């Protein structure tokens, strides 16, 4: 199964297709709650910090912080699929997305 990623904030932005694995990977870029989110998120919607996304794309890695020890971090190299997603986000200035099953 695949996932369609739809830009909620701009209907003119064409959706992009991702593998089903992306349902878990969206957490690297998007959030479901927080103080900096200016909209109410519906189920399967995520808010993406565009500045942070650009930094991840430029560095080519995702920095993960251990939930047990904030001083322990690891770097996860971006897959080709995630790079394509980030290019779509940056090119279209996407900040609010919804995931739908295809």
- Give this prediction's pTM: 0.89
**Rounded to the nearest 10 degrees, how much is the dihedral formed by the CA atoms of 81, 90, 77, 1?**
-30
Q: Domain boundaries in the chain?
A: 2-101
The C-alpha atoms of residue 42 and residue 52 are separated, in whole angstroms, by 22
User: b/e for 24-41, b at 16 or more Cβ within 10 A?
Assistant: ebbebbbeeeeeebeeeb
Tens of pLDDT along 14-42?
999 999 999 999 999 888 877 778 888 99
Element spanning 15, H or E: none
The C-alpha atoms of residue 97 and residue 99 are separated, in whole angstroms, by 7
pLDDT recorded at residue 65: 84
Tens of pLDDT along 54-74?
999 999 999 888 788 878 888
């Amino acid at each position: 199964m695949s996932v369609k990623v739809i830009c909620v904030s701009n209907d003119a932005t064409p959706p992009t297709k991702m593998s089903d694995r992306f349902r878990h990977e969206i957490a690297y870029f998007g959030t479901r709650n927080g103080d900096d989110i200016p909209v109410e998120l519906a189920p399967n919607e995520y808010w993406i910090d565009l500045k942070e996304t650009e930094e991840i794309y430029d560095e080519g890695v995702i920095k993960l912080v251990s939930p047990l020890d904030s001083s322990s971090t690891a770097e996860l190299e971006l897959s080709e699929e995630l790079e394509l997603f980030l290019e779509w986000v940056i090119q279209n200035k996407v900040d609010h997305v919804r995931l739908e099953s295809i």
